[in-house]
Structure 1
Amino acid sequence: MKNTLASVDLDRTMIYSRAALGFPVDDSVTCVEMYDGGPLSYMTIDAASRLDKLCSVAVVVPTTTRTIEQFQRIALPGAPWRYAITSNGGNILVDGEPDPQWRANFHEVGLDRIRAELDARAVGEWVLKRRTADDLFCYLVVEPAQVPDGFLTEWSQWCVARGWNVSQQGRKIYTMPDMVSKSKAVAEVVKRCVDEGALSARPLTLAAGDGALDADMLIAADRAIRPAHGELEALNFQYRGLTVTATSGGRAGEEILAWLGEQVEGRVEP
């Protein structure tokens, strides 16, 4: 039985694109995702080793806004996963398969209305793609420098009044129902792990993430860390007890996994 659970965001927290790494791809990194026949995402070899070790002493739960299909492209050390969280908390994967009982909580999110309004507002060459994720939420892929002034503020205000929220992470602008969140899914996974005997009755919960959609997960954890880059860094997101890395890019991924390992060390059962 383990006594610590770590919920860890993926993109720009634990894995990095070539552009996000912050240094050239070399023999210090390993590819963890292929797409269209080419490498897409990387971890440093040091980070991969630390993740593998972390999985031996803690329950590690990959926790991502990616869709199920996008998540399944990634080959992380420590797999296979008993639990993983995708779709920003809208899906819990159990042994790789989506749990229909959890997904049933989100059948009536009102996505069609939101998508129609977004289509009417988001018009112009700055919009590169429109995507719907697992019939739960939608997002735009944009040219960040060309997003019209005031669009994010006005769209966010309209959505907040209807129980939705808006977040921009790099080239993507997410529109998400408030009822779908990483923290709620993590709480459910913690409960299940305790019930199954995989976790002690009062486990330590750790979390790591870089984006605004990770904020609720970080706050809900007993201890949390974020990298010194990304949306939360731009927002200067801070609260008592939150650790911020000294490094950014792929080196921050190493630092995050080192920190998670250090938190677990004092909790390992003799």
Structure 2
Amino acid sequence: MIYSRTAMGENQFQTTSPQCVEIYDDAPLSYMTRRAVDQLTALAASAVVVPTTTRTPEQYNRISLPGGPYRFAVTSNGGAILVNGVRDRLWDSHISEQVATVGTSLADILAALTERVPVAHPVDGWVRKVRVADDLFCYLVVEPSRQPVEFLPAWQELCAASGWSASQQGRKIYTMPLAVTKSAAIGEVRRRLVADGTLSASHTLLAAGDGWLDNDLLLAADAAIRPRHGELESLGWQAANVSVTVGAGALAGEEILSWMHSRTAHILTDRIGTT
């Protein structure tokens, strides 16, 4: 839903009346189109919207997401659930237990990673940064044009044998424990919403995402949509329950929200008709 000016593209930035939704280091960083702002605000008023991201809680809280405040949000790729903006410690404990029983430790996987990709000379190297996020996973910030073609497949093979996964989203290469997924966290949020009567047991889950770290959530949804850009597009990834936008960039964000609105309206009409 949100894009940097570069990711949006100058043409879309000039023609979509973008609204800044994220400030970082006292400078605007991320935007939504004016239409997307209105669409998300309207959607949040008619359905339960759960923002879901690989960002850490701190990174997520930099965003002024239209339609909020949101009761639930999923951050750290499912490693954290925020309830009314506060991190849920029960879910933290669950994730800690799961990660401890599945695969190599973060310390060991990080050591293996840094052995293979020492941060290179800033002029001619391809790895710019090595980061640990939320004490759960790590990622590289790279220059894709200089990245050795053999690195990612070899690293993915090692990760798969260690209880981890590796995937690339633009300039970031994520290394994630298999126990940390968006679908598991959303499953917990759904359970709580049904338990307290906010949702009926027969509710419909709609989802959207553009990266490999979103694929489990898209597959878990009753219906889902992805944009015609990003990692899943580059992989040619498709599934029976997943639609693909016609457009790319920020216009794909608008198309995704239009798809959500039409699906939500259809569901509500069906339920009113059968009540």
Does the TM-score normalized on the shorter chain lie above 0.5? yes
**Kept in 2: contact 1:43–1:250 (CA 8 A):** yes
Residue in structure 1 matching 2:6, options 19, 33, 38: 19
> 5 Å matches for 1:185-264?
185-264=185-264
Spell out structure 1 runs of 4+ moving beyond 3 A.
none
Residue in structure 2 matching 1:116, options 86, 111, 116: 111
Partner of 1:82: 71
Runs of at least 5 residues in structure 1 that lack an aligned partner in the other structure: 1-13
Partner of 1:139: 139
Percent of matched pairs sharing the same residue: 54
Structure 1 position 25, deviation (Å): 2.7
- Using the TM superposition, name which of 105-114 and 144-153 deviates more: 105-114
Structure 1 position 242, deviation (Å): 1.3
Q: Report 1 or 2 for greater relative contact order, CA contacts < 8 Å, sequence distance ≥ 6.
A: 1
Larger radius of gyration: 2
Partner of 1:54: 43
Q: Secondary structure at the match of 1:204?
A: coil
**Kept in 1: contact 2:23–2:29 (CA 8 A):** yes
Partner of 2:52: 63
Structure 1 position 149, deviation (Å): 2.6
Higher strand share: 1
Once the two structures are superposed, residues 14-69 of structure 1 have per-residue CA deviations (whole angstroms, 9 ceiling, x without a partner) of 11110111335346111110111111111111011010110111100000000110
Distance of 2:44 and 2:151 partners within structure 1: 42
Distance of 2:110 and 2:117 partners within structure 1: 10
**Kept in 2: contact 1:183–1:216 (CA 8 A):** yes
Find out whether 1:157 has 2:153 as its counterpart. no
TM-score normalised by structure 2 residue count: 0.91
Partner of 1:33: 22
Distance of 1:64 and 1:121 partners within structure 2: 27
Higher helix share: 2
Distance of 2:238 and 2:12 partners within structure 1: 30
Structure 1 position 241, deviation (Å): 2.6
CA RMSD of aligned residues (A): 1.1
Runs of at least 5 residues in structure 2 that lack an aligned partner in the other structure: none
Assess, with a 3 A threshold, how the Cα gap between structure 1 residues 24 and 258 changes in structure 2: closer, same or farther. closer
**Kept in 2: contact 1:106–1:136 (CA 8 A):** no
**Kept in 1: contact 2:182–2:217 (CA 8 A):** yes
